[in-house]
Structure formats: structure tokens, C-alpha cells
Amino acid sequence: MSAPASLSPVVVTRAEGSEGPLSRELRELGLQVLSWPAVRVAVADLAALERSLASIQSFAWIVFASRQAVGAVLERMPLAPRGVRIAAVGSATAQVLRQRGWPVDLTPDEANAAGLVAAFAAQGSSAAAGVKILYPASSRALPTLAAGLSQLGAVVTQVEAYRTEAATLDLTHCREWIARDAIGAVTFASPSAVTELAQALGETDFQRLLSGAAAVAIGRTTARELSARGHAATVAESATLHSLAVTTFRLLQTRA
């Protein structure tokens, strides 16, 4: 696929740098990329995670909802623990695990926290009852996954594996682009990116940005955060950066 010269630039709000995977995929599709990292991943206090990993055999499952959580755990435990089953939210997270030699026993049909809870529930009423589950998560993890598994009767230990923080944006640069009304789409790979971009730009500029540019979300949870702020989002066909890039490209083609 190649992009017509008329396609407008795409904003990447993911903290990945100009050569990150989403930016690279968009450029390979012929699109101009504007890097506006609204959030960044920071090192957390990992004492609770390390204590949990030291007693990993007491858990029946480890649940991963992001690649960052996978990285934090595998840095400290390169080999999959025997007798502990692994669940992953989304094919991208599952792929990282498999590439590192970890088996993945459960992935949901719908790549979000609610989907994984539903996948556990589909195993039967006794599948989660009394089962100990380790959930290494972001500092800003929504309660959906832990609360949903707990409601099924599981004993969930949620520990911080990494911190999600606001990044420092070049607001002058951002506002110059917003004033030009020349941006074609804004990509969001997490609810935190929506929240932090809105806060950094301020309500007026955030509304102006998305009144002209299409919002493209990696998944339904991120789309719901945009909807809560009054903006409909196009959701990527699957919760991967590749799909986010392709969905954005195709959307811009229809708007050209």
C-alpha cells in the first residue's frame, strides 16, 4: 500500500520516539508522522513484584495485560515457571511471551480486560474460584481486570510492574499544527494517552484538534475514554500497533 501525496499527517501519542514501531509502520505506509508522546513508561518500585515472583509457585496463573508488564517480569524471571498457567490480553502481548519461550494458555476473543474475564468465566464456575492469580500491571491499570476476576472468586494479587506518567510535550509545536487544521488523524494506544494529551493541550485545543482530525484507538477501552470526552473513535481491527497503523491509513484514504 502507498499513500497519495494528499494524505494529511498522523499524530502518534505513544511514548516510543520517532523510530518507534507505530511511527515506523505509518511511515512505511507513506504517511508523515508527528511525534507527540503524551505518556511515558517509567521504572516503578518493583519490591512487591519481586516478592510475588519469589513465591511464584503459590500462584496458579499470571495474567499479562501489556508488553511492558511482560518485560518487567521476564527481566527478573526469564524462564516460564513450571505449573503456573499464563493468560494474555491481546495477540501482541501473547506474541511477546511466545517469542521469549513462554507458553500462553488463555487469550480472550476480545482483546481487553473484560474479554479476559469473560474467557475465565467461560471455563466454568469453578475455574477461578479460590484460584490465586498474579497480575503485574501499570500504575494506572483500570480496575476492570482485577475486579472482574475477583468477582469470579479468584484471589488476585495486583502488583505494580511499571509506571505510566505524563510526558513533556512541545506545546508550541503542537498548537502550531492544531492552528493549521492540517492533521489527518491522531492515534491513541492507551486511555492514559487520551487523558494526558487532553490535559496537556487544554480543553479548547484538544477539542479543536479532534474536531478536524480523526481519532483512531487501538482498542475499545481507549475508544471509551475518547467517547467520554465527546469524540467518536475508529477502533483498530485488532489490538496491535500494526493494525492501528493500517486502520489509520485506510481511514485517511477514505477521507482524502
Cell of 29: 505506509
- Chain-wide mean pLDDT for the chain? 91
pLDDT at 9 over 70: yes
Here the cell at position 148 is 472482574
pTM of the model: 0.77
CA–CA distance, 127 with 105 (Å, rounded to integer): 13
Decide: 130 and 155 in contact? Cβ < 8 Å. Answer: yes
Given the DSSP bridges, would you call strands 214-217 and 185-188 parallel, antiparallel or unpaired?
Answer: parallel
Going by pLDDT thresholds of 50, 70 and 90, the confidence category of residue 5 is: very low
Closest CA to 221 of 138, 154, 106: 138
Q: In whole angstroms, what separates CA 172 from the centre of its chain?
A: 27
Of 1-10, 45-54, 86-95, give the lowest mean pLDDT range.
Answer: 1-10
| Segment 146-190, tens digit of pLDDT | 999 999 999 999 999 999 888 889 999 999 999 999 999 999 998
* CA–centroid distance for 255 within its chain: 26
- Which residues neighbour 203 within 8 Å (Cβ) at sequence distance 6 or greater? none
The CA-atom distances, in angstroms, between 22 and each of 29, 111, 200, 254 are 11, 18, 22, 21
pLDDT (0 to 100) of residue 7? 83
**By C-alpha distance, which of 71, 76, 70 is closest to 51?**
76
Spell out the domains of the chain, with CATH numbers in brackets. Answer: 10-38+167-255 (3.40.50.10090), 42-164 (3.40.50.10090)
